[in-house]
A and B are shown apart, each in its own frame.
Chain A
Amino acid sequence: MIYKDVIIIGGGPAGLCAAKMLADQDVSVLLVDRDHHLGGQLVKQTHKFFGSEKQYAKNRGFEIANILINDIIDKPNIEIMLGAFVIGLYKDHVMSLVKDDEYYKFKAKAFIIATGASEKSLAFENNDLPGIYGAGAIQTLMNVYGIIPEDEVLMVGSGNIGLIVSYQLLQAGVKVKGIVEAASSIGGYKVHATKLKRLGVPFYMQHTIKRALGKDSLEAVEIVKLTDDFQEIENETKMIEVKALCVAVGLSPLSQLLGMMEVNMKYIKELGGLVPVLNHLNQTSNPNIFACGDVGGIEEASSAMMEGYIAGLGVLKHLECPHPCHDQLIEMYHRELELLRNSNYGEKTKAGLKKLGGPYVE
């Protein structure tokens, strides 16, 4: 058994910022990630971020990852374990993980769960054919490993992920054959959609995927027009020949580890699924367990960073070694979160947080 004061699970924007807050403090920290590098999904984001300087706005996602990693990488009180897959979190505060086929057990006073989210799929005939990918998978393949999925791709979903990944496909020299959207209006920022329209990408509004066709892998996709109440219109279908389909229909929180600790959780549709109820320090109903980032509700990397700082401050306070500027910093990061959520696209998050209850409700 290896003992630590704090264990952070997940080295994405939330986990990195939590670690940053604990750096140089009088606590021993272990930061674990199942990936072979830190940065989480920031490493595949090539677009410039919005927000304020607190969220490194105007920097590209992978650049933000590098800034945050550099801030914590050589800190004597932070141990980093990569390629480490956490398999359990138990009520006696033991966490077990596997790394390079070795099994390890750790015990900590407090845990920060920053596990992020996983991609949702879409139900249609043959949706398991090779050639159908989550949007994140295409970003990883293309932006991290430099491999294109195919020469032509069809996108489902016009939220920010669908729009941004479509633009990134064009940047990599891939033709986007269209963006299929079930709703009657664009889900993400209009500025991204306008850019794509100008580049000649067709938008199939009020359409969904009826079925995928192909023997060994995807060869064509049949799309169908929808009514205002999302019913398929039988005869209004269109066949699109394409070997790759990118599914960008949202994410759901990876909250299984929190489930193992039986913390108070609720299913909130607006936040993407099952999420923990948190107080103003991002602390769960178990005072030793904190959560930050997408695991607490699907938002953007910018808010995940702010929540990471808050969780870090919360843990320091909980371990009775509060940050000298605790109150000021908590207030500041909550104000930043509020600003981010007051933008046009924070409505859903705010509605979700209201249902969830807790400190984010006015």
Chain B
Amino acid sequence: MRIKDHPILTFVDKKDITFFFQGQPIVGKEGDMIAFALHSHGIKTISYSQKLNRPRGFFCGIGNCGSCKMRVDGVDNVRTCITPIKENMRVEIQTDKGTIE
């Protein structure tokens, strides 16, 4: 799902970064935001609504809407569309409001 040839833009191949989604290793590229790295592997459902448990993906991609909130390295409600991936980062789907701490 990564663009190889583009008439205007050049995408240089960046360093692989391995992180964990629900315990499974995922390889993204350096500089990728979490939600986009997951999307590049076809992973679209990254959260569930609190009351009706409806699947959610990212909507705005620039940190406005909050549709992409996940638990990242144990921290709840991280907006994954504006948070870059890091080596060995643990990313998990959150089904509740989350807690501070």
User: CB within 8 Å of B: which residues of A?
Assistant: 34-36, 41, 46, 60, 118-119, 121, 128-134, 136-138, 140-143, 145-149, 171-173, 216-217, 254
Contact = CB atoms under 8 A, between A and B. Distances in A.
A164 B23 CA distance: 39
Contacts of A134: 59-61, 65
23 contacts: A35-B63, A41-B62, A60-B8, A118-B60, A119-B60, A119-B65, A128-B49, A128-B67, A129-B55, A130-B44, A130-B56, A131-B57, A132-B59, A134-B59, A136-B60, A137-B61, A145-B32, A146-B6, A146-B9, A146-B11, A216-B44, A216-B45, A217-B57
Interface residues of B, number: 35
A58 B8 CA distance: 14
Nearest to A143: B9
Given A146-B9, A148-B1, 15 more contacts: A35-B82, A119-B65, A121-B59, A128-B56, A134-B59, A134-B61, A137-B58, A137-B60, A137-B81, A140-B36, A145-B32, A146-B3, A146-B11, A148-B3, A171-B7
Contacts, number: 96
Interface string B32-49: 110010011000111001
A217 B65 contact: no
Contacts of B39: 141, 147, 149
A173 B7 CA distance: 10
A337 B67 CA distance: 36
Contacts of B44: 130-131, 216-217
B61 A133 contact: yes
Contact of A130 (B7, B45, B62): B45
Shortest 9 CB-CB distances between A and B: which pairs? A130-B57, A137-B61, A146-B11, A130-B44, A118-B64, A140-B61, A146-B3, A147-B40, A217-B44
A216 B57 CA distance: 10
A131 B1 CA distance: 14
Contact of B8 (A137, A171, A216): A171
B15 interface: no
